[in-house]
Amino acid sequence: MQRVTILGATGSIGVSTLDVLARHPDQYGVYALSAHSRVDELAVQCRQFRPARAVVGSAEAAARLRQLIADLPTEVAYGEQALCEIASSSDTDTVMAAIVGAAGLAPTLAAARAGKKVLLANKEALVMSGQLFMDAVREHKATLLPIDSEHNAIFQSLPAHYAREPEAAGVAKILLTASGGPFLKRAVGTLEQVTPEEACKHPNWAMGRKISVDSATMMNKGLEVIEAHWLFGAPADRIEVVIHPQSVIHSMVSYVDGSVLAQLGNPDMRTPIAHALAYPERIVSGVAQLDLTTMAALEFHAPDFQRFPCLALAFDALRAGGTAPALLNAANEVAVQAFLDRRIGFRDIDRVVRRVMDEEAHGAASSIEAVLAQDAQARLAAGRIVDGLART
């Protein structure tokens, strides 16, 4: 039986993971669950899955959780160190890394260094620490399986023993599909008036607020471009984004012989989660089978960088290398939160990110400490820019 730790259990990925696990109680058990502040939801999960350990974000949240599950044997802790402990514990086999943002870096890296089977839903870990993270996976013989539907689709479309060498495998290009989000056809001139409520209404996927905004700006796809570079060893000029509004083809791999292999399915994250949990086997995910006869048409378009400048900024950061992606990610996190707090407008998000990337020097990603220092620097710079925009 696989013992699973879920980092970010109350988020959409965590909830979907628990749904899949519940369908296979003879194959999977839950060792630990974490949440930042959704204590009531975590308490319900603890009652259903009886984890040995639960971790939250603060002492106050831990005290509240202890009260709610006082009759359970679950050990409650809080903070980053506790997250790293449950991710690297000898009592867990598999770690679902689903904490959103830079906060997920340390525990995800701890899981890799402990040689775990890491199911990577936290794209920021690779965006920020790229080579350092991949080195940890290799050195400690961890297994890294992508959970983003796009990267999971690429993984399934590559040769079984692909070794991050596109040319050796005859790979011409990685094709990342993107729905285009809620504003694909909205007049560009009206995007200044977009509200947080509108930005969070994704047409196909049910996601958290931050990732929904990232999808609306296509920064989410930009981060996925950087993630694909590290996962599959493809340079920027071998990664292409294709707008596919129906979200049926999750991504593709184009080969030098002219073949294009694609992975299709209904837009439900339980499919890639089940694939990664059981890999190389297959298990029931709870997702309905795709009925191709109901597909009236499948559309494909090139992305409009005027509409989606964040996507262009991500390609720029990938080409710049070093800690530039960490700058990009940190500035975006600050800007998105400011937008959700109604301090800045929707189109101010890309303005904040661009200014941080233009004004802040980036260096070599030589250590985690260097990456985190760059992250902190970018957050301070983005905060100052946001303050200036909020006053105007």
Q: Which strand ranges, in their side-by-side order, compose the sheet holding 171-178? A: 239-243, 171-178, 249-255, 260-264
Q: Percentages helix, strand, coil for the chain, rounded to the nearest 5?
A: 50, 15, 35
121-177, pLDDT tens digit by residue?
988 889 999 999 999 999 999 999 999 999 999 999 999 999 999 999 999 999 999
Check whether 79 is labelled as a binding-site residue. Answer: no
Structure tokens at 267: 């837009």
Check whether 124 is labelled as a binding-site residue. Answer: yes
Pick 29 or 206 by higher pLDDT. 29
320-338, pLDDT tens digit by residue?
999 999 999 999 999 999 9
49-98, pLDDT tens digit by residue?
999 999 999 999 999 999 999 999 999 999 999 999 999 999 999 999 99
DSSP, collapsed to helix, strand or coil, labels residue 4 as strand
Residue 237's pLDDT is what? 96
Check whether 202 is labelled as a binding-site residue. Answer: yes
Check whether 215 is labelled as a binding-site residue. Answer: yes
Check whether 208 is labelled as a binding-site residue. Answer: yes
H or E segment and range at residue 7: strand 2-7
Structure tokens at 276: 């990664």
Residue 23's pLDDT is what? 98
Check whether 123 is labelled as a binding-site residue. Answer: yes
Looking at residue 167, the DSSP 8-state letter turns out to be T
Q: Tell me how far apart the alpha carbons of residues 268 and 378 are, in angstroms, rounded to a whole number.
A: 34
Check whether 363 is labelled as a binding-site residue. Answer: no
What mean pLDDT, rounded, does the chain reach? 95
Residue the block writes with tokens 């959103």: 100
Check whether 204 is labelled as a binding-site residue. Answer: no
Check whether 150 is labelled as a binding-site residue. Answer: yes
What the chain holds in terms of domains, given with CATH numbers, is: 2-146 (3.40.50.720), 154-294 (no CATH), 321-391 (1.10.1740.10)
Q: Is 94 exposed, middle or buried (0-12, 13-18, 19+ CB in 10 A)?
A: buried
Residue 219's pLDDT is what? 96
Check whether 74 is labelled as a binding-site residue. Answer: no
* 289, 200, 297, 300: CA torsion to nearest 10: -120
Check whether 167 is labelled as a binding-site residue. Answer: no
What is the pLDDT confidence band of residue 46, given thresholds at 50, 70 and 90? Answer: very high
Q: Tell me how far apart the alpha carbons of residues 84 and 25 are, in angstroms, rounded to a whole number.
A: 26
**Cβ-contact 378, 330 below 8 angstroms:** yes
Check whether 10 is labelled as a binding-site residue. Answer: yes
**Cβ-contact 370, 363 below 8 angstroms:** yes
**Cβ-contact 277, 20 below 8 angstroms:** yes
**Cis before 203? omega within 30:** no
Check whether 13 is labelled as a binding-site residue. Answer: yes
Structure tokens at 210: 């931050």
Cα–Cα–Cα angle for 125, 310, 156, rounded to 5 degrees: 50
* 127, 233, 214, 345: CA torsion to nearest 10: 70
Q: Tell me how far apart the alpha carbons of residues 151 and 121 are, in angstroms, rounded to a whole number.
A: 10
289-300, pLDDT tens digit by residue?
999 998 888 999
Among the listed residues 118, 184, 126, 57, the one whose alpha carbon sits nearest the alpha carbon of residue 329: 126
Check whether 360 is labelled as a binding-site residue. Answer: no
Residues with Cβ within 8 Å of residue 297, at least 6 apart in sequence? 246
Check whether 89 is labelled as a binding-site residue. Answer: no
Structure tokens at 65: 């959780």
For residue 177, give Cα distances in angstroms to 61, 148, 301, 375: 39, 12, 10, 28
Cα–Cα–Cα angle for 150, 314, 250, rounded to 5 degrees: 10
Check whether 148 is labelled as a binding-site residue. Answer: yes
Total-model pTM: 0.92
What is the pLDDT confidence band of residue 391, given thresholds at 50, 70 and 90? Answer: confident
